[in-house]
Structure 1
Amino acid sequence: MNSETVLQKRLLDHLRTAVMMLDADLRVRYLNPAAEMLLSTSAARVLGQPLPDYFFDDEDARGALKQCIEEGHPFTRREARLNVAPGQQAMVDYSVSPIHEPGQPMALLIEMQSLDRLLRITREEGLIHAHQATRALVRGVAHEIKNPLGGIRGAAQLLERALPDPELAEYTRVIIDEADRLRSVADRMLGPRKPPAFAPVNVHECLEHVRQLLLAEYPRGVALVRDYDVSLPDVTADRDQLIQVLLNLMRNAMQALLEAGTENARVVMRTRVLRQFTIGAQRHRLVLRVDIEDNGPGIPEDLQETIFYPMVSGRANGSGLGLSIAQSIISQHQGLIECESVPGRTLFSLLLPMEPLDTTESNGS
């Protein structure tokens, strides 16, 4: 392999566009790293193998590949669904170009640009901006609620002392108790009062701590399944706040399963590392992903866009503050919580950067 060929291969390997080459029999001859990531496979596994039948399950698409080989005409497809693995799809724009070198058999060069991540980034940015605006509004409302409560409570206490009949104190006690309850709600709406105490944290130790708490709270009825990547390094986080978030997500899942009476109910705790991953508009070299997945009835579709808003809950007795507070905590960690839900599968994904955080920015948010 001469130096020019080596340089060309290095350029292909560094492209963010997924590139795949097929021979005339639709056997895989080359995958660059971006294609390996998109297709969730490795070049070593698929080189020399026929393109899987499920990849282009559309007969028109497979026919277009064969026609491109026969006639030598390139083509492009927009917003196409590729079955990158059984049961796993990716939306891409892809272009197919025939390559015919003198003395060499026909080959096809396929360039694929993933759209899933672009759509996800757009959705994440919208979620982040909506959360920031909602948080500012809620904090303002919570302060306005708290301001008169002290006066109401103090007046009720003074009135209680001046009442001629001790039995009338029952009514002032109701005023005081309800003022305290409202103050507690307002405090929860304001979120954590102190900035995160960042330190290296083992996420699996946090998950196991939460798992033991829930096993004591719900001794039977729901299976807690662990699917850990034990090679993960520590992440920079506030351990207590991270446990609070995980406990909220897992408790919500277990309560939803038990209330629905789901058969073979289970909650899966999964950890993975994502490389060169974007959270909102910020790209990170390494990102920790913690999935909390259950096989319950799912979140109603009309609630999925607002599930992280305050006072929005999918459960009849839910306060609607837990997920909003959890999102606020993870936002201070420069991360994000995402949700996907269909009947039979609800997935909350917690995304945290694994590089050292700008704690000044986080503490000021």
Structure 2
Amino acid sequence: MPVSLSINSLVTAIILLDNKHHIAYLNQSAEQLLGYSGKQIRDESFFELVKGDFDQALLDRFSQQQNTALLEEIEIKTSTGVLTTNIVLSNYQKENKQYTLLELQSNEHHSRIRKDIELQQQSRVSNHLIKNLAHEIKNPLGGIKGAAQLLERKLPSQFSNKYSQIIIRESDRLSQLVDRLLLPSKPEEKSFINTHILIEQALELVLLQQKHPIQIIKNYDPSLPNLRVSPGQIQQALLNLIKNAAEAISSDGAIEIRTRIIHQHTIGKIQHRQVIRIDILDNGSGIPSSLIKDIFFPTISGKNGTGLGLSIAQSLVQRHGGIIEVENLETSSLDQEKRSAKTCFSLYLPVEKENDSKHT
């Protein structure tokens, strides 16, 4: 049936039922939520396909009314499992035909949006803390350099010059290092690049630093479109995440890197047509539950370290409109080797069409 483009592009999952409660239409969000395409299930009975905690008599009564109704905390079985959702019922008329419109509002979807907003707020606080930290580090470095220059003028001998120059040179080097690691880097030109090239480059750098071999499981989707990003910044974010996973596992541990394309995905409050998701899973000891909500704050770490790596990675990804999420897991494809994954960092980056970029 023809529908308006506005319904098809809504973030909310929309299902239209005819007067026999057969599925007449699904918008894109509903297809993603239920795991079926509209063509697959058109004209099938809604109650045969999706079994939920409400019955046909309720819809029969509602179809005779002109108001809306809200059903809360409804469990619906879909092709992807059981989903807890709120359902808003309303009447919809098109071409002199009456339909029942169901809006499926996933509690999980709203919870993830709130989580993303919290992560974005954490990143802003983290950036402020990092800037202050960089300032505190550079202040004494400036004093050391100034003292060395003063010493060089007071004691103009070849012996004192040699060592004062070392102090000045090393102070400058440390100051530049702080600029690169802690302060916002200079804008890097964006270009289209294959996601897996960035992953492989970061992975190569991590493996070169390892004292013992690591099993890497690559679960790539070869059909991913190119990303328009600042390659150095995204590679740095991936490097920090993969290095973090490598430090979390034991000598016989494993890391899985998985890539997927997601349609109609929301990051924070913005919905994107396509998003690339990069999962980095490890079977280390996991992140303590007391730390997982704050793991992206600087100086927060589940291991011995500064805790700056994850905070910097989050900041770099958010500059590209993306987000990094984390969760502790119980199972994954790592179980094929009888290894249970403990932690999954998921990096989301919106896809920009190459034709669209020409107008920006």
Q: State TM-score, norm by structure 2.
A: 0.71
CA-to-partner distance for each residue in 1:267-310, whole Å, 9 max, x for gaps? 22222223333322333333222221223332111111211111
CA-to-partner distance for each residue in 1:173-193, whole Å, 9 max, x for gaps? xx9999799858844652353
Please identify, of 46-55 and 339-348, the stretch whose mean Cα deviation from structure 2 is larger: 46-55
Task: State the alpha-carbon separation in 2 of the partners of residues 329 and 257 from structure 1.
Answer: 25
Please identify, of 207-216 and 21-30, the stretch whose mean Cα deviation from structure 2 is larger: 21-30
Task: State the alpha-carbon separation in 2 of the partners of residues 274 and 337 from structure 1.
Answer: 15
Letter in 1 for 2:78: V
Task: State the alpha-carbon separation in 2 of the partners of residues 234 and 149 from structure 1.
Answer: 42
Q: State TM-score, norm by structure 1.
A: 0.70
Indicate if the aligned counterparts of 2:35 and 2:80 stay in contact, CA closer than 8 A. Answer: no
Change (3 A) 1:304 1:151: same
Pairing of 1:197-212 with structure 2 (within 5 A):
197-212=189-204
Residue in structure 2 matched with residue 137 of structure 1 by the alignment: 129
Change (3 A) 1:13 1:287: closer
Task: State the alpha-carbon separation in 1 of the partners of residues 80 and 13 from structure 2.
Answer: 19
Residue in structure 2 matched with residue 296 of structure 1 by the alignment: 284
Counterpart pick for 2:28 among 33, 44, 57: 33
Residue in structure 1 matched with residue 87 of structure 2 by the alignment: 94
Q: How many residues align?
A: 326
Indicate if the aligned counterparts of 1:138 and 1:189 stay in contact, CA closer than 8 A. Answer: no
The two structures, once aligned, show a CA RMSD in angstroms of: 4.4
CA-to-partner distance for each residue in 1:103-135, whole Å, 9 max, x for gaps? xxxx98654122333322222222212311331
Post-superposition shift, 1:227?
A: 2.2
Letter in 1 for 2:280: I
Post-superposition shift, 1:323?
A: 0.9
Change (3 A) 1:38 1:180: same
Residue in structure 2 matched with residue 42 of structure 1 by the alignment: 37
Q: Secondary structure at the match of 1:258?
A: coil
Indicate if the aligned counterparts of 1:68 and 1:98 stay in contact, CA closer than 8 A. Answer: no
- Aligned-residue sequence identity (percent) comes to 37
Residue in structure 2 matched with residue 65 of structure 1 by the alignment: 55
Counterpart pick for 2:313 among 326, 350, 353: 326
Task: State the alpha-carbon separation in 1 of the partners of residues 47 and 250 from structure 2.
Answer: 41
Unaligned ranges ≥5, structure 2: 93-98, 331-340
Q: Is 1:277 aligned with 2:269?
A: no
Indicate if the aligned counterparts of 2:228 and 2:352 stay in contact, CA closer than 8 A. Answer: yes
Residue in structure 1 matched with residue 345 of structure 2 by the alignment: 348
Post-superposition shift, 1:97?
A: 8.1
Post-superposition shift, 1:354?
A: 2.1
Counterpart pick for 1:84 among 78, 85, 90: 78
CA-to-partner distance for each residue in 1:322-347, whole Å, 9 max, x for gaps? 11111222222232222222454322
Indicate if the aligned counterparts of 1:267 and 1:292 stay in contact, CA closer than 8 A. Answer: yes
Indicate if the aligned counterparts of 1:241 and 1:329 stay in contact, CA closer than 8 A. Answer: yes
Task: State the alpha-carbon separation in 1 of the partners of residues 111 and 184 from structure 2.
Answer: 31
Counterpart pick for 1:127 among 116, 119, 122: 119
Task: State the alpha-carbon separation in 1 of the partners of residues 317 and 328 from structure 2.
Answer: 20
Please identify, of 289-298 and 195-204, the stretch whose mean Cα deviation from structure 2 is larger: 289-298
Task: State the alpha-carbon separation in 1 of the partners of residues 91 and 222 from structure 2.
Answer: 44
Indicate if the aligned counterparts of 2:29 and 2:264 stay in contact, CA closer than 8 A. Answer: no
Letter in 2 for 1:37: Q
Indicate if the aligned counterparts of 1:143 and 1:186 stay in contact, CA closer than 8 A. Answer: no
Task: State the alpha-carbon separation in 2 of the partners of residues 341 and 181 from structure 1.
Answer: 39
Letter in 2 for 1:257: I
Please identify, of 333-342 and 75-84, the stretch whose mean Cα deviation from structure 2 is larger: 75-84
Q: Secondary structure at the match of 2:278?
A: strand
Letter in 2 for 1:352: L
Residue in structure 2 matched with residue 229 of structure 1 by the alignment: 221
Unaligned ranges ≥5, structure 1: 1-5, 100-106, 167-171, 360-365
